[in-house]
Chain A
Amino acid sequence: MSEVVTVTIDGRQVEVPAGELLIKAAQDRGTYIPRFCWHPRMKPVGMCRMCLVELETPRGPAIVTACTTPVSDGMVVHTRNETVQRVQEGVLEFLLINHPLDCPVCDRGGECPLQDHVMAYGPGESRFVEEKRHFEKPIPISDLVLLDRERCILCARCTRFSEEISGDPLIEFTDRGNGVHIATFPDLPFSSYFSGNTVQICPVGALTATAYRFRARPWDLTAVESTCLQCTAGDRISIQASQNEVLRILGVDVEPTNQGWLSDRCRFGFQYLGSPERLATPLLRDATGDHVEASWSEALAVAATRIGDVLQRSGGQAVAVLGGARLTNEDAYALSKFARVVLGTNHVDAQMDDGLDPQFLAATVDRARIGDLETAKAILVWGPDLKEEHPTLYLRVRRAAQELGAKLVVVHPRRTGLDDRATHKLTYRPGEGADLLTELVAGTGRAAEAREALAEGPVVGLVGRAGYGEDPRLAEAVAAFVRTLPDGKVLPLARRANVYGALDMGLAPTLLPGRVSVAGEGADAIAEAWGGLPDHPGLDARGILEAAAAGDIEVLILVGADPVRDVPDGDLARRALETVPFVVAIDQFLTDSSRVADVVFCADGFAEKEGTVTNLEGRVQKVNRIVPGPGQTRPDWSILDDLARRLGVELGLTSAEAIAKEIAEVAPAYRGVTWERLDWEARDGIVVPEEGHAPLRYVPADTPGARHGGDLVLHLARVMYDDGVLARHSPALAGLAPGGAVFLHPDDATRLGLGSAEQARVVTEHGEATLPLRMDDTLHRGVVYVPFNQPGVPPLGPGPGVTVTPA
């Protein structure tokens, strides 16, 4: 593997890894060979011919493309001799004869590889006097991407990305020869979840993003590197802004996480930051019950008074905190400390009754890293459709199965985005997963072949809840099975932003900062550092909402949480919020939940504050600030610190960085993790705990949970685009939610007398709705699939019971 060969590049001898492509070997040794089509994350095609170089061979000099030529020992290469200069100039002249040269109005102008290469390697002028090739100027090929075929230099980066990387080949070369152009199929747009990547890797301005088009010139942009919080993979991004407005997000190529790619939700989901609906002042209710703007001191005073009264009268058990998954680790730590120390409550939960046991998520033994997918021989995905909920992780699994030869077993109640790469695909009814798991463990029945596929290690299991009708304990039981496989490792999946960081900071009833169990080893040290801990058992999100609905919670603090929309049982959340006498919300928008709050504090959002976040592997990375929040927004820690002071407690929080230092001292798993390290030597993050700092080792329980049946069961699961508050306020994404629908297997539809119906009535114990009916023969029979949180659809969840009748 690591054999080294000697190559002479432009007269200079260098040592490079054997077999590496010349273009990369040369670049790593300081010789840049120009290119358009070559991309380090995709297979070389040698099409643009820009990287032509001359090799000395026994049969004389040979002209070859550096992007398709592996280095070999003794190779002598010329990258800038007269022949090479001439052919490179020739290639650029060819590329320019049909290029419109409309650089002044092109988004790419100023950061365009074609422009740059013409400057560096190109001819002074064109000798082409004929008519250029013409196409209709930019045509929309999706809601997010425009195509200008005149600018296109036919490098096949976008088409290769779609086929090789994202697996949705919806844009392709069409026609032949001089007429070749990129095209979609009529009425079938480039509706890929990953389409924005093609805009980023386009070497000219042929593909542009509607969200960025004509918004800025590259030289007016400032940029900061950060970590995406749209899912939990911790993708590296560059946030780019001009005049205090975030204008675009680009993927940054780092090996451990996203390898440069982003989902469109990540790339275009920032627009809510500049929404006019953003909360810019605190709000209070006036005498008529309407929200009115208030000063910070007024709002804090009201909140402190009411909370203080409740604490005095009923104690911490009557107070609960929901949310925190969108916070940085520093803010989450502040919230955790506030809840435990100021409120005296363990009723805290950053998950929204849609996740897994917090100790399993935070501290399972044999936890895999994303990078383990590169060497895995077999992969088991039993949980959500990764393409919908963990898009960049989906790309990594796809790559492992497609390019690296890993066997892939996918278990889900219906079709998933990985099915076309799966070695084996099993479907089942939510509630009957335990039976299927029993078969898989034993290697019997319909799981026999899948079991064989998992026989050779290393095995990586990605486990989570396939939908909300699923008992969360099933995922743990699957994890327990994966641990029995050769070199089996587990990635437990939760989807919300910085939920892993929030849990690591103790935003769960059973956890304290640094992966300490409330009743376990290390809890005493935290009690000492914080000056005491509550001793009552904490409630999780469902418990909090049930207690609230029953009148047992007197103060509910929502931190970036919208339970009405976000918990599977939205009906329960609504009743809870109606019952709680005093609700405080810290948020960026008025949501269906914060709308009922008595006090609303406006908080800084993503890109408006600095801090750290933790991804699903436990990788801690920086998020950075590039714009100020609107109006009077403040960071969450500062709001909480102020509120604590008004409640008579000094939390001692002075800055996010100071909090980070406190975390590094107080939270065992985070010991030694400092901003200094993350900003400099550990830009790809630090996976915690580092050696010797692992207080909690959670062993997944092999108890797959309750079995439930019935004629039909509800499969309620997330899709990429929904009616979440941040998406709703991001214009590029707002229209992409597919809308409410109910999916039935055609056989079930026929059985239920719905064979030709266009609509159906769906009734659960928590709600009912009339929805468009879709046939889906990939569904396991007896399963009713409804996408979660679509615009205009009332809460139906979580199941499992459901009936479907003609509308």
Chain B
Amino acid sequence: MTTQLRVITRRMTEHPADSHTLARYEATGGYRQARRAVGMTRDELVELTKESGLLGRGGAAFPAGLKWSFLAPARPAYLVVNADESEPGTFKDRQLLERDPHQLVEGIIIAAVANEVHHAFVYVRGEYPKPARRLQRAVDEAYASGYLGEGIFGSDYDLEVTVHLGAGAYICGEETALINSLEGRRGEPRLKPPYFPAAKGLYMMPTIVNNVETISNLPHILEMGPDAYKALGHEEDTGSFLFSISGHVNRPGNYELPHGLTWRELIFEVAGGIRDGHELKTWIPGGASAPWFVPGDHLDLPITKNDTGKAGSMLGSGAVVVMDETTCVVRAAERIVRFFAHESCGQCTPCREGTTWLEMILRRIESGAGREVDVDLLLEVGGNISVGLAWPPRMTTICPLGPSAVSPIISITKYFKDELLAHIHGGGCPFEGGER
């Protein structure tokens, strides 16, 4: 049996009744590292974070220390915490915000000092009012205790934190779209180049955008030191990692784990296996954007960034969606493509038109009006969004949202072509409850 790690989930596990309060947070060692960080230099903190090997937890797994080191010299600089968790299958940040918000606040202080930031923003998705309230209360408590505001911890360092609510737009999880949204604009991704946030971010000033989980790790990295933190993880994937497991498993939920175990272990041991009487058909290894895995090819693959990438998918934000044999993959794919079509910002042509077109074709197939040519059409339309259907995608779009909608297309045509053709030849969905 695989043992869960207890780093960022330790306090909420050991003190479920009050892990979100300042009293409990401080009673369990909280804010000591932030206090320490205020006395440290930017170089020290960036170096320490680099040494820890901390990878961004928002999906792209970019080294956090390296990202910080890219911060351009102009000031003011800003820190934006990405709490716009919206990738279907992902619900880990919600737990961190609700259950241990001070951990995030302490991480914010550390990241702010490391990046010479005096105003940090937390962009919480609008559909998370409870997590936002918990965080706001933690922020208020921190202000009241002198941990935020003017002269934090009695130093001469000022730090403001503003909690900002989104209003229903997945694309704002993309860092430049998030910045636009925070500026009071439409959440449309910016062009990279030239708008790399570390150079021209919020208000065109140098900006660091980090995920909630990434930031929540910082107090622990300082506390245990980079080497100990690294040792928690598996090779390049240092530290712990929060997996969100959902779908047809017996024990869905968030699990703090090291990398390196196999998918078989994750699904059948950690998540308790497939619901009674059913068997594993396919799973999404890293959120709705990721190409799917199937038992025959991938079950014993180690869960690492590299192994998953080599197999043509990604770990993303750690969202594992498990489907059993009752699942109609056309319907599942349609649901995911629909998501991306709905969440497309609409600014670039292939995404705006292509995702909707793919959704229409899948819906037609599911409802029994599919044609044989539609299989190729799906692939060709997909290929005009994601050239060659390669992984990682060669995008014709501004941001990766459009190509994300192509992942399920690639997956079902690759692994479930027969089922697709059965819809076409059979005049509709062969599954119970499916459309005909």
Contacts and interface: CB of A to CB of B under 8 A. Distances in A.
Contacts of B377: 127
B384 A87 contact: yes
Contacts of B355: 177-178
Interface string B385-412: 0010000001111100000000000000
B353 A95 contact: yes
Interface in B355-402: 355-357, 360-361, 364, 373, 377, 380, 383-384, 387, 394-398
Contacts of A95: 349, 353
B193 interface: yes
Interface string A49-66: 110100000000111000
B346 A178 contact: yes
Interface string A119-152: 0000000011010000000000000000000000
Contacts of B384: 86-87, 90-91, 93-94
Size category, A interface:
35 or more
A629 interface: no
Given A91-B384, A94-B349, A154-B346, A177 B396 contact: no
Contacts of B344: 176-178
B350 interface: yes
B370 to A, nearest CB: 11
B349 A44 contact: no
Interface in B326-342: 341-342
A98 interface: yes
A97 B396 CA distance: 17
Contacts of A178: 341, 344, 346, 352-353, 355-356
A46 B191 contact: yes
B397 A49 contact: yes
A128 B342 CA distance: 19
B191 A97 contact: no
B186 interface: yes
Given A46-B348, A173-B186, A177-B345, A87 B396 contact: yes
A68 B397 CA distance: 13
Contacts, number: 99
Interface string A170-186: 00010111111000000
Contact of B347 (A47, A98, A128): A47
Contacts of A176: 169, 186, 344-346
B343 A97 contact: no
B189 to A, nearest CB: 10
The B interface is mostly helix, strand or loop, or mixed, namely helix
A45 interface: yes
Nearest to B377: A127
A48 interface: yes
Nearest to A43: B191
Contacts of A179: 346
A93 to B, nearest CB: 7
Contacts of B239: none
Contacts of A45: 191, 347
Nearest to B346: A180
B65 interface: no
A91 B169 contact: no
Nearest to B347: A47
Contacts of A154: 346-347, 349, 352
B354 interface: yes
Contact of B352 (A63, A87, A180): A180
Interface string A73-108: 000000000010011001101110110000000000
B191 A68 contact: yes
Contacts of A61: 394
Contacts of B169: 176
B360 A98 contact: no
A583 B193 CA distance: 68
Contacts of B346: 154, 173, 175-180
Contact of A177 (B191, B342, B394): B342
Nearest to B356: A178
A86 B396 CA distance: 11
A86 B385 CA distance: 11
A94 B350 contact: yes
Contacts of A83: 387
A153 B353 CA distance: 10
A128 B383 CA distance: 15
A132 B383 CA distance: 21
With a 10 A CB-CB cut-off, give which of A49, A86, A95 has the most chain B CB atoms. Answer: A49
Contacts of B356: 177-178
A50 B396 CA distance: 10
B10 to A, nearest CB: 40
A68 B193 contact: yes
Nearest to B354: A94
B360 A130 contact: yes
A153 B349 CA distance: 8
Contacts of B357: 94, 97, 128, 130
B366 to A, nearest CB: 14
A476 to B, nearest CB: 41
Contact of A63 (B353, B380, B387): B387
A48 B351 CA distance: 10
Contacts of B345: 176-177
A400 B298 CA distance: 59
Contacts of B349: 47-50, 91, 94-95, 153-154
Contacts of A50: 349
Given A91-B384, A94-B354, A94-B384, A49 B396 contact: yes
A49 B191 contact: no
Contacts of B193: 68, 70
Interface in A202-226: none
Contacts of B352: 94, 154, 177-178, 180
Interface string A153-167: 110100000000000
B265 to A, nearest CB: 34
A62 to B, nearest CB: 8
A127 B394 CA distance: 23
Contacts of B350: 49, 90-91, 94
A246 B355 CA distance: 46
B367 to A, nearest CB: 12
Given A47-B398, A90-B384, A94-B384, A177 B343 contact: yes
B391 to A, nearest CB: 13
A366 to B, nearest CB: 36
Nearest to A48: B349
Q: Which of A91, A94, A180 has the most CB of B within 10 A?
A: A94
A47 B348 contact: yes
A97 B353 contact: yes
Contacts of B353: 94-95, 97-98, 178
A46 to B, nearest CB: 5
B208 to A, nearest CB: 24
* Candidate in B356, B383, B395 with the most chain A CB atoms within 10 angstroms: B356
A83 B343 CA distance: 28
Contacts of B364: 130
Nearest to B390: A60
Nearest to A153: B349
Nearest to B376: A127
Nearest to B397: A49
Nearest to B343: A177
Given A49-B348, A86-B384, A98-B353, 18 more contacts: A47-B398, A49-B396, A63-B387, A63-B394, A87-B396, A90-B350, A94-B352, A97-B353, A130-B364, A154-B347, A176-B186, A176-B345, A176-B346, A177-B342, A177-B343, A177-B346, A177-B352, A178-B352
20 contacts: A45-B191, A46-B191, A46-B398, A47-B398, A49-B348, A49-B396, A62-B394, A63-B387, A83-B387, A87-B396, A94-B349, A94-B353, A127-B373, A128-B357, A173-B346, A173-B347, A176-B169, A177-B344, A177-B345, A177-B355
Interface of B: 169, 186, 191, 193, 341-350, 352-357, 360-361, 364, 373, 377, 380, 383-384, 387, 394-398
The 3 closest A-B pairs by CB, nearest first: A90-B384, A180-B346, A94-B353
